[in-house]
């Protein structure tokens, strides 16, 4: 039996579909308030497979519910996490990401004979002046780190702590994940934001990866003999300018034409904050996201490509596929 946390999210829903399609027995840890919309979307073409999913209601903040869900499990995929750049959500995000992961690790240590696959982030890697960031670049403690990065680093430390205590585990560090998730909340909202008339682009660079690659690589690593290691999961390093123009082409809309430098980015997040004060809606642009969008981060994926002979889906192919899904759902 394979247990998945965070199954209602972008990565978790893809993981559920892939594992069920492979004939694995899958149980998901699901809060009663969680939506199963994304999971059901994955199984739209094969609804009979959806009925094979076992649901255990619980929460990563409730260790007893985790222990109950772990009955008869041999593998655990910990995907549950909170992503937010809203300052008001910092305490909650840290609790879910760090304390929740500590609970999962402790429950796995208690049960023994369990392999844990943990979804971390490239945000936990050191981002210095080096040309290519790899798995040996450790987190830098500085004021430029987002609170999301801090919370994920604390979560990853819990997994490393578990490994020193005998936990059989592997960690993946995905870059920006592209896929057909929630068009209004996770990274899939990039497509909706652009479609809604985004006029600006930045000169920043980051790694991008298909959600299908995140799922497939996590399964391969967790089912392998590899343990006590982490792997960057990133297809290609691309500029946001290239990404937005490629997305615009796939969405059949005009691409952003205004280059947003540091000053304009800083002005934009302040205006968004002011707008949120009056509307009560969270800001689409924050100080943290404005800063990150201007940075150049290149990620080295050679470790997994060499150890597993893994081949990633090209980013352009991913963008084309997701754009078609987005347009079809809009229609």
Give the pLDDT of residue 50.
Answer: 92
Pair 244, 198: CB distance under 8 Å: yes
pLDDT greater at residue 101 or residue 185: 101
For residues 53-66, one letter each, b for 16 or more C-beta atoms within 10 angstroms of the residue's C-beta and e for the rest, the string is bebeebbbeebebb
CB contact set of 136 (below 8 Å; sequence gap of 6+): none
**325 Cβ contact partners less than 8 Å away, ≥ 6 residues apart:** 180
Q: Rounded mean pLDDT of the chain?
A: 87
Q: 108: which residues sit within 8 A by CB, 6+ positions away?
A: 70, 76, 114, 116, 162, 167, 169
Q: How many helices and strands in the chain, by DSSP H and E?
A: 14, 12
Neighbours of 321 (CB within 10 A): 17
Question: Which pLDDT tens digit goes with each residue over 118-139?
Answer: 999 999 998 765 689 999 998 8
User: How far is residue 102's CA from residue 75's CA, in Å, rounded to a whole number?
Assistant: 17
pLDDT classification of 293: cutoffs 50, 70, 90 = low
Strand-pair partners of 170: 117, 229
pLDDT, tens digit, 9 for 90 and up, residues 8-25? 999 999 999 999 999 999
Each residue's pLDDT tens digit, 221-265: 999 999 999 999 999 999 989 999 999 999 999 988 777 655 334
| DSSP-derived secondary structure letter, 234 | -
Locus of tokens 């991913």 = 318
User: 3-class DSSP state for residue 52?
Assistant: coil
2-179+208-235+299-314 classified as CATH 3.40.50.800: no
* Structural tokens at position 69: 């869900």
Q: Domain spans of the chain?
A: 2-179+208-235+299-314
pLDDT at 144 over 80: no
CB 322 within 8 A of CB 177: no
Mean pLDDT across the stretch 147-170? 96
**Contact call for residues 148 and 201 (beta carbons, < 8 A):** no
Predicted pLDDT at 19: 98
């Amino acid at each position: 039996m394979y247990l998945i946390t965070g199954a209602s999210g972008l990565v978790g829903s893809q993981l559920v579909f892939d594992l069920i399609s492979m004939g694995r027995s899958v149980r998901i840890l699901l809060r009663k308030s969680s939506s199963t919309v994304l999971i059901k979307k994955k199984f739209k073409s094969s609804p009979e497979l959806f009925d094979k999913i076992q649901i255990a209601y619980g929460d990563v903040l409730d260790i007893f519910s985790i222990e109950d869900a772990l009955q008869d499990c041999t593998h655990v995929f910990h995907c549950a996490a909170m992503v937010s750049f809203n300052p008001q959500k910092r305490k909650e995000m840290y609790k879910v990401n760090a304390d929740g992961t500590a609970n999962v690790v402790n429950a796995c240590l208690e049960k023994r004979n369990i392999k844990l696959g943990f979804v971390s982030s490239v945000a936990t890697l050191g981002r210095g002046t080096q040309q290519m960031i790899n798995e040996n670049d450790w987190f830098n403690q500085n004021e430029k780190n987002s609170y999301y990065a801090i919370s994920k680093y604390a979560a990853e430390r819990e997994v490393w702590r578990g490994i020193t205590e005998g936990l059989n585990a592997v960690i993946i560090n995905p870059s920006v994940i592209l896929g057909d998730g929630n068009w209004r909340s996770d990274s899939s909202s990039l497509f909706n934001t652009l479609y809604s008339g985004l006029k600006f682009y930045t000169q920043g660079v980051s790694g991008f990866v298909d959600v299908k690659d995140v799922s497939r690589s996590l399964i391969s690593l967790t089912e392998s003999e590899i343990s006590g290691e982490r792997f960057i999961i990133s297809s290609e390093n691309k500029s946001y300018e290239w990404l937005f123009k490629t997305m615009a082409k796939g969405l059949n809309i005009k691409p952003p034409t205004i280059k947003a430098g540091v000053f304009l980015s800083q002005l934009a997040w302040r205006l968004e904050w002011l707008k949120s004060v009056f509307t009560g809606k969270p800001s689409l642009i924050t100080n943290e996201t404005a800063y990150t969008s201007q940075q150049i981060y290149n990620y080295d994926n050679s470790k997994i490509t060499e150890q597993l002979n893994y081949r990633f889906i090209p980013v352009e192919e991913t963008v084309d596929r997701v754009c078609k899904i987005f347009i079809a759902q809009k229609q």
